Chain A
Amino acid sequence: MSAVLQNLVNQPYKHGFVTEIESDVAPKGLNEDTIRMISAKKNEPEWLLEFRLKAYQKWLTMKEPQWPNVKYPKIDFQAISYYSAPKPRKKLGSMDEVDPELLRTFEKLGVPMHERAALAGVAVDVIFDSVSVATTYKQKLAEVGIIFGSISEAVHTHPDLVKQYLGTVVPVGDNYYATLNSAVFTDGSFCFIPKGVKCPMDLSTYFRINTEASGQFERTLIIAEEGASVSYLEGCTAPRFDTNQLHAAVVELIALDNADIKYSTVQNWYAGDENGVGGIFNFVTKRGLAKGVNSRISWTQVETGSAITWKYPSCVLQGDNSVGEFYSVAVTNNHQQADTGTKMIHIGKNTRSTIVSKGISAGHSNNSYRGLVRIAPTAAGARNYSQCDSMLIGDQCSASTFPYIQVRNNSAIVEHEASTSKIGEDQLFYFAQRGIGNEEAVSMIINGFCKDVFQQLPMEFAVEATKLLGFKLEGSVG
């Protein structure tokens, strides 16, 4: 890889600062008492404690998955603190009472916590380490019957809804990390869009890990009732530490008849340094259940951060004519590893799914697409189209594609296309010969490559993602 490419990729991480704030951090270690402690801190009802304990018992019997195409040292689950919350100065009545230190942190990260802030029109739930510290536009949303806020709060204000849906899409014993999350999750967002309501603004959650050696285990639950629709955005950053932090989230989406949920993520967790030291282990389970007829679940993700990314936002297409979509850009650089993709489970008749995955590898990184398309015997007339493209920058990185296709109904149509390309000297020379320098050339090639995914993102996010990618890959070409 030439010097030009090198410089293009190796840019410092901008969100690596630590907020000096007094936090209530639980001692490291995991046992039943830890779980009882978390549950007690949140003053949870008995059924939720039982949910957690059941998950913990199950987790003890499980083994870490070995199949992902990633390598990392064994995680010591006893060396992690499972709860960390900034100490509130007093009981919060409104946004103006949020600790100024926290406000400054999120201001620095560009997250608007004031409703009058620049990104008006997006409601934000802000999660700092283990707790939700603020939610904007809550009142305005409540006027149309939308419930949006932290899940800890929803457990108290809307226990029946939480109880009805929690763990229905990602069951307690689903997989190693999801089960761990079910045992120790601390906070996350809860969102309920009632029958017939089109959410008037984008909803968003911003996750920030601040404390070293703490894990973040958030739990998000989004329900769209009959005919409802919502667009939801998620952003994440973390300070720069030499140690690895674990982020094991669970996101469950439920769409009833004719409902539509669009979930977009721009993930920029700290990725470790150029030698692969530090960074977030991002082991996440995201799944949407298109339960009702004509419902639609759409995932869009731009994954640029984390030392390791292991996530497969999936759609279970249960309702007849339901639609699942997955649009992904995953960028890895230096020693980052990503094993990401999706699962499209077709159960209902005439269900349709689309997968567009774009992987970009630079430096010494390793980027894998792993995706499952399963057509159940009941899914007559099901259709899937998958497109998986990989782009290599330099010659030290690798890209892999692992498609799994299981078709058990012969009226189904499944298409899979894959390609691998490389930004090479010749392309850059061609641009240069037309007066265009390397950085601009790479940015143009990458944006062209990712165009199909970026155009799925809400406007503000698309701009953000384009910038982030340019920044991320600056210096990587040559």
Chain B
Amino acid sequence: MIYPNSKSLLEVRGLRATVSGIEILKGIDLTVRSGEVHAIMGTNGSGKSTFAKVLAGHAAYEVTGGTVMFEGKNLFELAPEERARAGVFLAFQYPIEIPGVANNQFLRLTYNTVQAQRGKDELDPLEFDDFVREKMKMLEMSPDFLDRSVNAGFSGGEKKRNEILQMALLEPRLAILDETDSGLDIDALRIVANGVNQLATRDNAIILVTHYQRLLNYIVPDYVHVMESGRIIKTGGKQLALDLETHGYDWVSIEQRAAAGA
């Protein structure tokens, strides 16, 4: 939701980034204030996921220009784990499998690491067990998940729920959900979206990276940005997503080119 006089969380200015020497992001500008939900849409290869990974600090991407300030701090001066502890959360498009590491151990370690950073109490295994089970109810996850290895052998939908569970545990200031809707059936989509909606507060912000409008029926964005060739070419309200659904991405491109030509 857009609140008047809300604090700026994220300020992206002229962001450029390359992978293996190829420029993917070609000057992105974006401001996200607390309380807001932003959707970033675009075709495959438009740079949406790259943008998400660059914000989280993936080593494969090199930032070649621009600045990103997160709560007034230069994000690029922080290592990936420091960004996470500062409250930047990325729900992965393809969550990574970690065979042999029990989910409950992993979840507790990440929870306690972030708690410690915030000067809050850490939980012992028993306390954590109660705490995490409560959060899992919201996502309609079976307690079996706790004893299984992190994401190993999980279905696509189970992996995505596990991502949102981590978001619920870590209570990030800025959550970037990278195609969290892909691979979800309609029931799972509703559960995941419902979880995200419950986690959205006045003090945090969410960036949804998605292809499709259907997620936005459940999580209603305040702003919709359309990306093409590494730039945001159009920004609008939630109606923009519906227009895209009707007319297709080409419609924005053509409109943009016409505007540029005029």
Contacts and interface: CB of A to CB of B under 8 A. Distances in A.
Contact of B101 (A2, A433, A448): A448
B96 A426 contact: yes
A425 B89 CA distance: 18
B100 A435 contact: no
Given A430-B92, A448-B101, A435 B106 contact: no
A385 interface: no
B98 interface: yes
B162 to A, nearest CB: 11
Given A425-B59, A425-B60, A433 B100 contact: no
A436 B81 contact: yes
A74 interface: no
A387 interface: no
Nearest to A4: B59
Contact of A444 (B79, B80, B105, B170): B105
Contact of A449 (B85, B92, B100, B105): B100
B32 to A, nearest CB: 18
A469 B105 CA distance: 19
A421 interface: yes
26 contacts: A429-B56, A429-B58, A430-B92, A430-B98, A431-B81, A432-B79, A432-B80, A433-B80, A433-B90, A434-B84, A434-B110, A434-B114, A434-B166, A434-B170, A435-B84, A435-B85, A435-B110, A437-B81, A444-B109, A445-B98, A445-B100, A448-B98, A448-B99, A448-B100, A448-B101, A448-B102
Contacts of A431: 81
B106 A444 contact: yes
A152 B18 CA distance: 69
A6 to B, nearest CB: 14
A478 to B, nearest CB: 9
B217 interface: no
A436 B110 contact: yes
Contacts of B101: 444-445, 448
B184 to A, nearest CB: 20
A440 interface: yes
Contacts of B46: none
Interface in A437-452: 437, 440, 444-445, 448-449, 451
Contacts of A440: 109
Interface of A: 2, 421, 425-427, 429-437, 440, 444-445, 448-449, 451
A451 B149 CA distance: 12
Given A425-B60, A444-B106, A448-B149, A432 B84 contact: yes
B160 to A, nearest CB: 14
Given A436-B109, A445-B98, A448-B101, 17 more contacts: A427-B98, A429-B96, A432-B84, A433-B57, A433-B83, A433-B90, A434-B113, A434-B114, A434-B166, A440-B109, A444-B109, A445-B100, A448-B98, A448-B99, A448-B105, A448-B149, A449-B99
A430 B100 contact: no
B95 interface: yes
A432 B98 contact: no
Majority secondary structure of chain A interface residues (helix, strand, loop or mixed): helix
Contacts of A425: 59-60
A466 to B, nearest CB: 14
A434 B98 CA distance: 13
A435 B58 contact: no
A421 B96 CA distance: 13
Contacts of A444: 101, 105-106, 109
A444 B107 CA distance: 12
A430 B89 CA distance: 11
B117 interface: yes
Contacts of A432: 57, 79-81, 84
Contacts of A427: 96, 98
Contact of B117 (A426, A433, A435, A449): A435
List 8 A-B pairs, minimum CB-CB distance, nearest first: A448-B100, A434-B110, A432-B80, A448-B101, A430-B96, A435-B84, A435-B113, A432-B81
Nearest to A427: B96
Contacts of B58: 429
B80 to A, nearest CB: 4
